[in-house]
């Protein structure tokens, strides 16, 4: 895989070093990507049940190494998912869940700053390139993402999370000490291999990995639209007379 | 009416309001609602008076001759973070003396020359009704819409990629992508809070055409509004290494009797400024209080 091809994925044409990219067919517009997986239901292998398609998990070895006692909270989350899942509340989904949630996203890249724009709740995920995490007690839903190139692979280090996001509707969770290292590498011009190493000594006994494929949306006029779920929920509540002045 | 103070506080938490002040104060010399000092908006920006009706012709003259730094593809380089320092966080867009709830403002409307939104007669009282009875949609953490994204609360980062211009707002992690590849607008029945923006370059000016908007967004905290027929044109032109002339023309024959235009400077944040995550709905604890006296704005023809 050539360096030129990988930068074309992220439409890195502003860098003076890749002037040829402007001539690469199809490389002129930042592309729209989407995962094709049922991982948002459950990142592990799961059988079908009403409303949930069966799916093969994205966890390497299918095992999440919860520390003794930590699994109980996952099970409690699963029982309360209809009210407690951040997705049910229309909160930001965090990392890595935003990458495999069933919504398209666009990756826009300039040399210092990459942004990932998801259709879900107008999520912006900023990836600042070749820079350090800011110090201090910072807790963000999407974490603080710092990117760098290792050869043809984009490596993104993510820290400074809240403890309020989940990995899936099955209630898999983490603490605010979550640390995610993502690796994006181009398999073809239309496929990205996405891998993430996940560690959180408060919850897991060892680091673990997920891997999946991101597919390029090929429809000619494809556009990331909007899914403003909390606006819809509030509008419904107004219609039912549950929200607003009495 | 104490609740109005909450309306402003929803739009800007104490911390971010402080950040806004720190950003705007050195350039604009503004002092918010209690203003009255002779220095209000007195300091020039890029050698032009910062009051919109004076800034506009001065900046247009500079735009005609300024040769900006360029990207490798030849387009003017606007990458970076920008602040609408004279827009007061979109509290108001017309002249306003300032009161207990909203800061002083000098109109950012340059056409018509009276600096007022040219509402059709049947809408003459609607803005006041909005202010009295509804929550500014961004107070409920909805998108700002267009063009308010550019002059709304706090700053925006611009990212230029080939075939695309993107605007990332600090407010509520919202964004807008603007293809600049001659692609057509999406189908007319699709309606989006941020509309469908398409851009092209006219010389050194990025011209953005936005359609497919909803009537669910406002133009200011004070209640200026539009219908879903709104059609917005925006023009971004560097007039100095650190200043953009931003002009936007709004056409909406259901609400306005004529097209009208706002113009203002966007001033570059210090180098290395990063637009960070601002959860809005995720941490919005004010809304239940707002809803005790005010309604959600669900458009000019709210659903039943």
**Three-state helix/strand/coil letters over A34-59:** EECCCCCCCCCCECCECCECCECCCE
Residues 6+ apart with CB under 8 A from B147: B210, B219, B232, B234, B248, B250, B262
The pLDDT, as a whole number, for residue A28 is 46
Q: What's the whole-number mean pLDDT along residues B150-159?
A: 93
Q: What's the whole-number mean pLDDT along residues B279-301?
A: 85
pLDDT at B190 over 50: yes
Residues 6+ apart with CB under 8 A from A100: A35, A37, A39, A40, A43, A58, A212
**B152 vs A contacts (CB less than 8 Å):** none
**B190 vs A contacts (CB less than 8 Å):** 225
Sign of CA dihedral A53, A54, A57, A58: negative
Whole-angstrom distance, CA of residue A228 vs CA of residue B216: 12
SS (H, E, C) A98-112: HHHCCCCEEEEEECC
Q: What percent of chain B has pLDDT over 70?
A: 87
The pLDDT, as a whole number, for residue B281 is 87
Lowest-pLDDT range of A7-11, A20-24, A182-186: A20-24
Counts of helices then strands in chain B (DSSP H, E): 6, 10
CA of residue B250 relative to chain centroid, distance: 12
Query: DSSP assignment, residue B112?
Result: S
Q: Which of A11, A10, A34, A28 is nearest to A227 (CA)?
A: A34
CA of residue B210 relative to chain centroid, distance: 14
Q: Phi first, then psi: what are they for B243, rounded to 5°?
A: -140, 130
Confidence of residue A220 (pLDDT cuts 50, 70, 90): confident
pLDDT at B21 over 90: no
Q: What's the whole-number mean pLDDT along residues B135-156?
A: 93
Q: With an 8 Å Cβ cutoff, is B143 touching chain A?
A: yes
Instruction: Please report where in the chains the tokens 């007379």 appear, as a residue.
Output: A241
Query: DSSP assignment, residue B3?
Result: H
CB contact under 8 A, B162 and A11: yes
Residues 6+ apart with CB under 8 A from B206: B75, B76, B78, B165, B180, B199, B200, B234, B235, B236, B237
Confidence of residue B291 (pLDDT cuts 50, 70, 90): confident
Confidence of residue A233 (pLDDT cuts 50, 70, 90): confident
The pLDDT, as a whole number, for residue B217 is 96
pLDDT at B28 over 90: no
The pLDDT, as a whole number, for residue A29 is 57
Secondary structure E strands in B7-131: 80-83, 109-111
Confidence of residue B272 (pLDDT cuts 50, 70, 90): confident
**B292 vs A contacts (CB less than 8 Å):** 245
Whole-angstrom distance, CA of residue A149 vs CA of residue A183: 9
Rounded to the nearest integer, the mean pLDDT of chain A is 88
pLDDT at A3 over 60: no
Range 254-283 of B in CB contact (< 8 A) with A:
274-277, 279, 281-282
Distance from CA of A146 to the nearest CA of B (A): 12
Instruction: Express each pLDDT in A47-64 by its tens digit.
Output: 999 999 999 999 999 999
pLDDT at A128 over 70: yes
**Tokens at residue A136, please?**
């201090």
Instruction: Please report where in the chains the tokens 């959860």 appear, as a residue.
Output: B279
pLDDT at A43 over 90: yes
Whole-angstrom distance, CA of residue B241 vs CA of residue A174: 45
CB contact under 8 A, A14 and B281: no
The pLDDT, as a whole number, for residue A243 is 81
Confidence of residue B38 (pLDDT cuts 50, 70, 90): low
The pLDDT, as a whole number, for residue B56 is 98
Query: A127 near B275, Cβ under 8 Å?
Result: no
Q: Which of A125, A96, A120 is nearest to B275 (CA)?
A: A125
Distance (Å) of CA A114 to CA B64, B79, B158 = 32, 12, 11
Confidence of residue A6 (pLDDT cuts 50, 70, 90): very low
Range 202-221 of A in CB contact (< 8 A) with B:
221
Distance from CA of A48 to the nearest CA of B (A): 31
pLDDT at B128 over 60: yes
Residues in a beta bridge with A224: none
Confidence of residue B268 (pLDDT cuts 50, 70, 90): very high
Q: With an 8 Å Cβ cutoff, is A241 touching chain B?
A: no
Interface test with A, best of B277, B288, B304 (most A CBs within 10 A): B277
Query: B45 near B243, Cβ under 8 Å?
Result: yes
Residue of B nearest to A145 (CA): B276
**B192 vs A contacts (CB less than 8 Å):** 225-226
pLDDT at A107 over 60: yes
**A90 vs B contacts (CB less than 8 Å):** 281
pLDDT at A133 over 90: yes
CB contact under 8 A, B159 and A92: no
The pLDDT, as a whole number, for residue A242 is 84
The pLDDT, as a whole number, for residue A17 is 31
Query: DSSP assignment, residue A22?
Result: G
Q: Which of A101, A102, A105, A104 is nearest to A115 (CA)?
A: A105
**Tokens at residue B304, please?**
């039943």
CB contact under 8 A, A243 and B174: no
Query: A121 near A89, Cβ under 8 Å?
Result: no
Residue, of A144 and B170, whose pLDDT is higher? A144
Whole-angstrom distance, CA of residue A66 vs CA of residue B89: 46
Q: Hey, is B261 helix, strand or coil? A: strand
Q: Which of B84, B128, B130 is nearest to B108 (CA)?
A: B84
**A98 vs B contacts (CB less than 8 Å):** none
CA of residue A174 relative to chain centroid, distance: 15
Enter the ipTM: 0.86
Residue, of B75 and B281, whose pLDDT is higher? B75
User: A68: alpha, beta or left, given left = phi > 0 and alpha = psi -120 to 50?
Assistant: beta
Distance (Å) of CA B29 to CA A45, B44, B56 = 60, 10, 19
Whole-angstrom distance, CA of residue A76 vs CA of residue A80: 6
**B143 vs A contacts (CB less than 8 Å):** 122, 226, 228
pLDDT at A5 over 50: no
User: A66: alpha, beta or left, given left = phi > 0 and alpha = psi -120 to 50?
Assistant: beta
């Amino acid at each position: 895989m050539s360096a030129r091809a990988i930068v074309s994925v992220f439409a890195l044409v502003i860098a003076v070093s890749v002037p040829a990219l402007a001539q690469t067919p199809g490389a002129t517009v930042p592309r729209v990507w989407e995962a094709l997986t049922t991982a948002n239901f459950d990142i592990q292998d799961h059988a079908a049940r009403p409303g949930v398609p069966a799916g093969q998990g994205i966890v390497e070895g299918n095992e999440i190494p919860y520390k003794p006692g930590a699994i109980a909270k996952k099970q409690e989350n699963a029982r309360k998912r209809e009210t407690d899942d951040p997705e049910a509340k229309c909160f930001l989904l965090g990392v890595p869940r935003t990458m495999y949630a069933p919504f398209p996203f666009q990756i826009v890249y300039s040399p210092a700053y990459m942004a990932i724009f998801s259709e879900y709740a107008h999520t912006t995920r900023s990836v600042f390139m070749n820079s350090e995490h800011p110090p201090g007690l910072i807790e963000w839903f999407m974490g603080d993402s710092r990117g760098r190139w290792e050869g043809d692979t984009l490596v993104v280090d993510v820290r400074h999370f809240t403890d309020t996001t989940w990995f899936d509707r099955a209630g898999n969770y983490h603490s605010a000490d979550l640390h995610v290292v993502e690796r994006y590498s181009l398999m073809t011009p239309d496929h990205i291999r996405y891998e993430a190493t996940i560690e959180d000594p408060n919850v897991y006994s060892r680091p673990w990995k997920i891997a999946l494929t991101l597919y390029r949306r090929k429809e000619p006029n494809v556009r990331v639209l909007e899914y403003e779920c909390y606006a819809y929920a509030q509008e419904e509540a107004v219609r039912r007379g549950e929200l607003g002045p009495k | 009416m104490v609740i109005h103070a909450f309306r402003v506080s929803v739009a800007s938490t104490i911390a971010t309001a402080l950040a806004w002040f720190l950003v705007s104060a050195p350039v604009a010399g503004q002092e918010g609602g209690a203003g009255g000092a002779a220095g209000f908006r007195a300091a020039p920006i890029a050698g032009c008076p910062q009051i919109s009706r004076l800034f506009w012709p001065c900046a247009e003259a500079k735009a005609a001759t300024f040769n900006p730094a360029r990207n490798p593809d030849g387009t003017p380089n606007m990458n970076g973070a920008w602040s609408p320092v004279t827009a007061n966080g979109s509290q108001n867009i017309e002249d306003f003396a300032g009161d207990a709830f909203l800061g002083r403002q000098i109109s950012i409307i340059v056409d018509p020359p009276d600096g007022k939104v040219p509402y059709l007669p049947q809408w003459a009282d609607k803005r006041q009704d909005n202010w009295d009875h509804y929550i500014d949609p961004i107070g409920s953490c909805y998108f700002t819409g267009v063009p308010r994204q550019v002059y709304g609360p706090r700053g925006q980062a611009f990212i230029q990629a080939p075939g695309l211009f993107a605007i990332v707002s600090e407010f509520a992690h919202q964004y807008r992508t603007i293809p600049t590849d001659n692609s057509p607008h999406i189908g007319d029945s699709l309606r989006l809070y941020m509309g469908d923006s398409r851009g092209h370059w006219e010389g050194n000016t990025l011209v953005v055409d936005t359609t497919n908007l909803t009537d669910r967004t406002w133009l200011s905290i004070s209640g200026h509004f539009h219908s879903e027929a709104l059609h917005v044109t925006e023009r971004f032109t560097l007039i100095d290494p650190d200043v953009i002339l931003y002009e936007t023309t709004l056409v909406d024959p259901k609400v306005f009797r004529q097209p009208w235009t706002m113009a203002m400077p966007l001033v570059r944040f210090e180098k290395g400024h990063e637009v960070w995550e601002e959860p809005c709905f995720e941490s919005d604890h004010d809304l239940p209080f707002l809803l005790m006296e005010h309604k959600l704005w669900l458009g000019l023809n709210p659903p039943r």
